[in-house]
Amino acid sequence: MDRENKIRKAFFFGDSNTFGYDPAGFMGGRYPREQRWTTILQNNLADTWQIESDGLPGRAVPVTRYEWDYLRSLVQRALPLDLFAVMLGTNDLLGTLRPSAAKTAGMMNELLTFVKAAAGNQGKDLQILLIAPPAIKLVDMSYEEPYVSGDKSYTDIYEEEGRKLSQYYRELARYRKVLFADASEWPLSFAFDGVHLSEEGHAAFAQYMTEVLRQIPDPEDK
């Protein structure tokens, strides 16, 4: 294949913000395909990247055998693959009264090892992008949703652990020698619940991620 025309393939694994969850939808919903950041990202990079994704509302870093088996199946179905990107951790913190960024980062370290192994012979050359999720900034409506455990007195704890998670992920990416993007630093807008990206938030996220992918060099060009 002509190197100038090569299309690389990226797979994004995430939670409701990768799914495109719309909290204003009836019984919960999903933004139209064209408004999700994954679709906008594909449109922005159609000449250089093929974007695939699997987002699930409420998803945390895998812990059960079923979750690991599902992730393995996703990776293996996506092969051949140039980039595996993961953005998880928000639900790991918000889903407990004892949020621990350190524990979540440790679990993410296991995920990175697992993905490399799941890719088999391609694992050695598979690039991984670890994405620190958007900053946790809870609002009154956040505590009326079932995905948040606790009460308003936990606001500072959740937000502080969110800040720690971004730093731990940055350090983990450096230690594991994988790519890193910090979405907690991006000025993004959220829906009324303060947790899920708004339509404008999806558009902004896509633009930032577009620049991230544009800056990833192709190992075959070295």
- In this structure, the number of other CB atoms found within 10 A of the CB of residue 34 comes to 8
Tens digit of each residue's pLDDT (9 = 90 or more) over 93-135: 999 999 999 999 999 999 999 999 999 999 899 999 999 999 9
Total domain count for the chain?
Answer: 1
Confidence of residue 222 (pLDDT cuts 50, 70, 90): low
Per-residue burial over 138-168, b if 16 or more Cβ lie within 10 Å, else e, is: beeebbeeebbebeeebbeebbebbebbbeb
Residue 50 lies in a domain: yes
Q: Which domain holds residue 129?
A: 3-216
Q: Which amino acid is at 150?
A: G
53 beta partners: 12
130 beta partners: 86, 180
Tens digit of each residue's pLDDT (9 = 90 or more) over 3-27: 456 899 999 999 999 999 999 876 6
Residue 40: closest CA among 210, 211, 213, 215: 210
Residue 59 lies in a domain: yes
Residue 221 lies in a domain: no
Structural contact between residues 132 and 166, judged by C-beta atoms closer than 8 angstroms: yes
Q: What is the CATH number of the domain that holds 197?
A: 3.40.50.1110
pTM of the model: 0.95
